[in-house]
Structure 1
Amino acid sequence: MKLSVVESIKAGLRRVSFSFALVGGLIMLSLAIITVASIIGRTFFGQSVEGDYELTEVGLAMSVFLFLPECYLRRGHVIVDLFTANCRPATIRFLDNTGHLLFTVVSVIFAYRMTLSGFESKDYYEQTMILELPIWWVYVVGVIGFSVCALCGATQLLSGPSGEHNE
């Protein structure tokens, strides 16, 4: 069976977004271990993990950026169908496509703005207080995450009706 170009890109994006989600999950697991070690160290030994709050802040930001494409492709976003429950399928498709278009545009805008902010952060040597980690590389993860989100939105828009409806 021959796949169309859009379906091939969509399959590749599914693999990439799943891989991103796994990396985000590993980051979250690492943060949980660091937090537990810090609490145990603080409670029993009077010494916590240095910079644990900074690591948590940076790690959570990166994890969220990495989870976004997978959440979008799995249609994990919140849908309130109070007004659309009894609409015709054509209306639902129109609203879905409008949502895909808006999601794509917003993702492109966020990626663009985060690119500018990342360059500014690098130019001004912005870093965390205790560990002195550079902040600009968190923006890199955000730009990549939003770029993949924009590609996911565009492929959803171009692939046409999928027959999937949220409950």
Structure 2
Amino acid sequence: MYRFMMRLARFMAALGGAVLTFLILLTCVSIAGRLLNGILHSDAVQSVAPGFANWAIGIGIGPVNGDFELVEAGVAFAIFAFLPLCQITAGHASVDVFASMFPKGVNRFLRMVTEIVFAAVLVLIAVQLAQGMLAKMKHGETSFLLQFPVWWAYGASLLAATVAALVGLYMAAIRTYEFFTRRIVIWDGVEAE
């Protein structure tokens, strides 16, 4: 089961990384287009090469239409896509100033409780995203510039959030088992022998 969950988490992280890379390139192209469009509209370029400037503007040199809408939807998906890998590898930021002084049993208990709470929060987020997606579908809401259905973004985020919730529930079950059996099933470097 662990191998499957790890593969799924890595796949989602790779997919989130691909989406994030696309969004970075899209943003760079949009910024460059916005800058070039401003230069082409400047008095200097219009006085020196008005024909070229107007031709370049005419073929569409400028910002990418709807770039903010795509970035908004894509970043939401990417965040949820990275959560499963972060959850299964214990990659979340933690502050353990006092925890290092506690006995192993207390630390295992805290870890179990933390995983259970995290799993519950991930499930709650997935449920709320599902309700939000259904509401967006029902009302037929579309984005302002590109006019794509808003529920598409909710659906993509819901897919990633559902995987995150599944991995969270799996890790909560593992940490609960570890607490009660006093055996470490998944070594992640957090607990040293």
* TM-score category of the 2 structures, normalised to the smaller one: 0.7 to 0.9
- Residue 93 of structure 1, CA deviation: 0.5
Match of 1:18 among 2, 10, 17: 10
The residue type paired with residue 83 of structure 1 is F
Matched, 1:45 2:69: no
| Residue in structure 1 matched with residue 86 of structure 2 by the alignment | 71
- Find the structure with the greater CA-based Rg: 2
- Residue 157 of structure 1, CA deviation: 2.6
| Residue in structure 1 matched with residue 44 of structure 2 by the alignment | none
Matched, 1:155 2:170: yes
| Residue in structure 1 matched with residue 57 of structure 2 by the alignment | none
Matched, 1:90 2:105: yes
- Structure 2 counterpart SS, 1:85: helix
- Structure 1 counterpart SS, 2:145: coil
- Residue 163 of structure 1, CA deviation: 4.7
Ranges in structure 2 where 5+ consecutive residues have no aligned partner: 39-61, 179-183
Query: 1:57-68 alignment to 2 at 5 Å?
Result: 57-68=72-83
- Residue 64 of structure 1, CA deviation: 0.7
Relative distance call for 1:84 and 1:116 in structure 2 (3 A) is same
| Residue in structure 1 matched with residue 149 of structure 2 by the alignment | 134
- Structure 1 counterpart SS, 2:12: helix
- Residue 165 of structure 1, CA deviation: 4.3
In 1: Cα distance, 2:187 partner to 2:71 partner? 40
Q: Percent identity of the aligned residues?
A: 30
- Structure 2 counterpart SS, 1:82: coil
| Residue in structure 2 matched with residue 27 of structure 1 by the alignment | 19
| Residue in structure 1 matched with residue 121 of structure 2 by the alignment | 106
| Residue in structure 2 matched with residue 54 of structure 1 by the alignment | 69
Relative distance call for 1:44 and 1:142 in structure 2 (3 A) is closer
Contact 2:84/2:164 (8 A) holds in 1: yes
In 2: Cα distance, 1:139 partner to 1:21 partner? 18
Contact 1:13/1:152 (8 A) holds in 2: yes
Q: What whole-Å deviation, never above 9, does each CA across 1:4-56 have from its counterpart, x for those lacking one?
A: xxxxx221111111111111111111111111111111112341111111111
How many aligned residue pairs are there? 159
- Structure 2 counterpart SS, 1:37: helix
| Residue in structure 2 matched with residue 166 of structure 1 by the alignment | 190
Relative distance call for 1:163 and 1:31 in structure 2 (3 A) is closer
Contact 1:21/1:70 (8 A) holds in 2: yes
Contact 1:20/1:66 (8 A) holds in 2: yes
